[in-house]
Amino acid sequence: MKIRGTTWLVTGASGGIGSAIAKALSDRGACLVLVGRDAHKLEALKAQLPQSDSHRVLAVDLLAADGIDLLMQHLDGQPIDGLVNNAGCNQFGWFAKRTHNSLSDEITLNLLRPIELCHRLLSEKIQPCWIVNIGSTFGAIGYPGYASYCAAKAGLQRFSEALDRELSAKGIRVLHLAPRATQTQLNPSVVEELNQKLGNHSDSPELVAEQFIDLLLHEQRSRFIGWPEKLFARLNQLLPGVVGSAIRRQYPLIAAALDKTNVEHPQ
Out of 182, 211, 222, 236, the only residue in the binding site for ligand NAP (CB under 6 A) is 182
**What is the rounded distance in angstroms from the CA atom of residue 108 to the CA atom of residue 102?**
10
Out of 14, 26, 148, 157, the only residue in the binding site for ligand NAP (CB under 6 A) is 14
What's the Rg (C-alpha) of the chain?
18
Provide, rounded to whole angstroms, the least separation between the CB of residue 182 and ligand NAP: 4
Q: Can you say whether the dihedral through the CA atoms of 218, 34, 205, 221 is positive or negative?
A: negative
Helix axes 229-238, 240-260, angle to 10 degrees: 120
Report if residue 147 touches ligand NAP, rule: CB under 6 A: no
Out of 29, 54, 63, 74, the only residue in the binding site for ligand NAP (CB under 6 A) is 63
130/224 with CB nearer ligand NAP: 224
Q: What are phi and psi of 90, to 5 degrees?
A: -155, 165
Provide, rounded to whole angstroms, the least separation between the CB of residue 231 and ligand NAP: 17
**What is the rounded distance in angstroms from the CA atom of residue 100 to the CA atom of residue 83?**
30
Report if residue 134 touches ligand NAP, rule: CB under 6 A: yes
Provide, rounded to whole angstroms, the least separation between the CB of residue 177 and ligand NAP: 9
| CB 34 within 8 Å of CB 22 | yes
Task: Tell me which residues in 65-94 interact with ligand NAP (CB under 6 A).
Answer: 86-89
Report if residue 12 touches ligand NAP, rule: CB under 6 A: yes
Helix axes 67-75, 113-123, angle to 10 degrees: 30
Q: Can you say whether the dihedral through the CA atoms of 11, 14, 18, 19 is positive or negative?
A: positive
Q: Tell me the window of 68-76, 180-188, 227-235, 240-248 that interacts with ligand NAP (CB under 6 A).
A: 180-188
Report if residue 179 touches ligand NAP, rule: CB under 6 A: yes
Q: Which residues bind ligand NAP (CB under 6 A)?
A: 12-18, 36-38, 41, 61-63, 86-89, 109, 134, 136, 179, 181-182, 184-187
